[in-house]
Structure 1
């Protein structure tokens, strides 16, 4: 990933009129959005599977479930808790609520991904669920441009972890796993495991 970022930044430096601060900002964005989020999701997804042994067993029994399981983990965990604020240019009414032009609205992505109108038993982790339609990567024109790469990284990473470490288990009680809720996204600070 780092090599890809440096090539992308190299093209920006040579092919645009962007200033140093703008290029540095894009570098930070690529690193944060393209690395930290996927790494955080790998940790959280592993924790979720280790604390849901029935779901872990289902994945190990049928690795073909992995693509759908990644979607379900993204829906179930939603590492970004709040979407980017949206500000309408004109007054709009949404579900009976008037939002005036210029007022900002911030969306709770976990609430949307746990909406019972969209997903049956939304508080249950089910790796066999068809979870497409979640908003973990945003929605519409505001979707993450790297979402397909993130999906591939999660499939490859979780697949390799599950096949390479069949005895993988938590090395500490789940309540001792240090969660990271102090940064821009939800994750784990560390995931002590044994195998």
Structure 2
């Protein structure tokens, strides 16, 4: 199994021992940027982890949000880009159409990067009606193994991991929760794929 964490501005530091990947919150909406973005990316790269950046999607202004995300997310070959699709602090969330439009716009603007959906299991099973997850199916945290094992820079690809292919829509019992419900100041552990 592959292991990684999701970090944001709440984490002044994080441990990289035993990690295969680190996903870093880059932006949110059209005005927020993670003030620790550069330092967190450097730490993950120095540890030879696969690095991904995500944008916390809000409803509305989808093209502007995609442009804002890409203006702030570092552009390095092989690094992943993702949309974090979940309920926001106001209790709303972007629609399926907005989520799909955001992924397609990011892919259009950065065609040589993998662009993925990043959401929790509940959202994926109960809110997603299109099953569009960008370059890979199913959603990011459920299919990380095949994505990363195909990347030459991935430490994990040099290890032996039992990673299996997954159906487009898994049964509810097949998957572990994709992101732990950790306190906001602790990195959230992301589990890879179960064999």
**TM-score between both structures, scaled by the size of structure 1:** 0.25
Structure with more of its chain in strand, by fraction = 2
Structure with more of its chain in helix, by fraction = 1
**TM-score between both structures, scaled by the size of structure 2:** 0.25
